[in-house]
């Protein structure tokens, strides 16, 4: 029988693998290897696996790493049903990861078969964000399951300040908007994954301004929440650490964004920007999670 601690480790592995494949996927695009394998699920018409050139090898490695991700989420499902006492939340979230990975596999094929259409790429990334959200929630529920006394009664959230709750939701919503507008910048920019791939018919300067505005509104909302929460001892006790973490990551991301844009979008900075964008979203989700102070069951 799987122990709560053992299942937590499996959830952590699934979370890490899902994060890593976002990074490896971005490197495929940034190195111009998006069509290194021009077919799907085979690499080419003649070869299932092809590492004959650098672009094919990079794309092939990313595809093969999908197998690691699939194995980790399937293991999470198989072990979740063996947990005692039975936890339907953990089973449901684990199953959600498997469904999400299957959707990602199909979207990955669509990206290739449409010649790296930017909108299919955007869908691919946004589903990754949803998967990371699912993995984060699974991780948090697994932590509660490992540390809580199952006999304890349910408890209600302690954060009752309506203004703070509203601001937390606004921060989460605006972070989502910033992530979406960021994908539009990517779809308009030069790193398409292949030199012949089509781009969104929008000037990158315009897309970048829209994205920057959404980021500034998001950070301003978080700063206002910081000032609001400091006036309430309960709100500050609950929100201080996740809010400070979110602002630190968000400000770093904003700095990298401006530097990469005005330095001509160098590959390494763009890769860092993509990786940290996921951390920013997870920071907002963590802020929301802490504001709810999840019930023990």
Give 42-62 pLDDT, tens digit per residue.
666 656 666 566 767 777 777
- Predicted local distance difference test score (pLDDT) of residue 115: 80
Q: Hey, which bits of 86-189 come out as E strands?
A: none
Same domain, residue pair 121 and 197: no
Q: Of 117, 147, 177, at which residue does a domain stop? A: 147
Cα distances (angstroms) measured from residue 187 to each of 6, 94, 124: 41, 31, 12
Q: Is 155 contained in some domain? A: no
| CB neighbours of residue 177 within 10 Å | 16
Task: Classify residue 282 by burial, with Cβ atoms within 10 Å: 0-12, 13-18, 19+.
Answer: buried
Same domain, residue pair 185 and 267: yes
Same domain, residue pair 83 and 190: no
* pLDDT higher than threshold 70 for residue 7: yes
Of 174, 87, 183, 71, the C-alpha closest to 137 is 87
Same domain, residue pair 114 and 53: yes
Q: Is the pTM of this model over 0.85?
A: yes
More confident residue, 220 or 157: 220
Number of domains in the chain: 2
Question: Tokens 């000032």 belong to which residue?
Answer: 227
pLDDT tens profile 89-107: 999 999 999 999 999 989 9
- Predicted local distance difference test score (pLDDT) of residue 248: 97
pLDDT tens profile 235-257: 898 999 999 999 999 999 999 99
Cα distances (angstroms) measured from residue 75 to each of 21, 81, 91, 94: 17, 10, 11, 9
Q: Of 95, 118, 147, at which residue does a domain stop? A: 147
Number of C-alpha atoms within 13 angstroms, CB side, residue 67? 5
Number of C-alpha atoms within 13 angstroms, CB side, residue 174? 21
| CB neighbours of residue 74 within 10 Å | 15
Q: Of 95, 119, 147, at which residue does a domain stop? A: 147
* Residue 94 lies in domain: 4-147
* pLDDT higher than threshold 80 for residue 32: no
Same domain, residue pair 114 and 19: yes
């Amino acid at each position: 029988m799987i122990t709560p601690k053992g299942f937590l480790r499996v959830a952590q592995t699934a979370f890490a693998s899902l994060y890593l494949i976002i990074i490896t996927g971005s490197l495929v695009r940034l190195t111009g290897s998006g069509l290194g394998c021009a077919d799907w699920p085979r690499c080419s018409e003649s070869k299932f696996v092809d590492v004959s050139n650098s672009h094919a090898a990079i794309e092939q490695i990313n595809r093969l790493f999908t197998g690691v991700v699939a194995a980790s989420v399937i293991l999470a499902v198989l072990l979740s049903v063996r947990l005692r006492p039975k936890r339907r939340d953990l089973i449901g979230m684990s199953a959600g990861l498997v469904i999400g990975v299957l959707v990602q596999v199909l979207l990955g094929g669509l990206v290739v078969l449409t010649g790296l259409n930017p909108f299919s790429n955007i869908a691919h990334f946004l589903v990754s964000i949803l998967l990371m959200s699912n993995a984060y929630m699974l991780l948090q529920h697994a932590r509660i399951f490992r540390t809580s006394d199952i006999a304890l009664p349910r408890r209600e959230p302690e954060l009752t300040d309506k203004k703070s709750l509203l601001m937390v939701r606004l921060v989460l919503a605006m972070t989502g908007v910033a992530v979406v507008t960021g994908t539009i910048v990517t779809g308009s920019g030069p790193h398409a994954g292949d030199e012949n791939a089509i781009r969104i018919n929008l000037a990158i300067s315009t897309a970048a301004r829209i994205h920057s505005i959404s980021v500034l509104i998001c950070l301003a909302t978080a700063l206002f929440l910081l000032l609001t929460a400091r006036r309430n001892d309960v709100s500050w006790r609950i929100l201080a650490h996740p809010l400070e973490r979110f602002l630190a990551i968000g400000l770093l991301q904003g700095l990298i964004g401006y530097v990469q844009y005005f330095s001509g979008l160098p590959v390494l900075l763009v890769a860092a920007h993509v990786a940290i964008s996921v951390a920013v979203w997870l920071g907002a989700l963590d802020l929301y999670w802490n504001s709810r102070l999840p019930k023990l069951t």
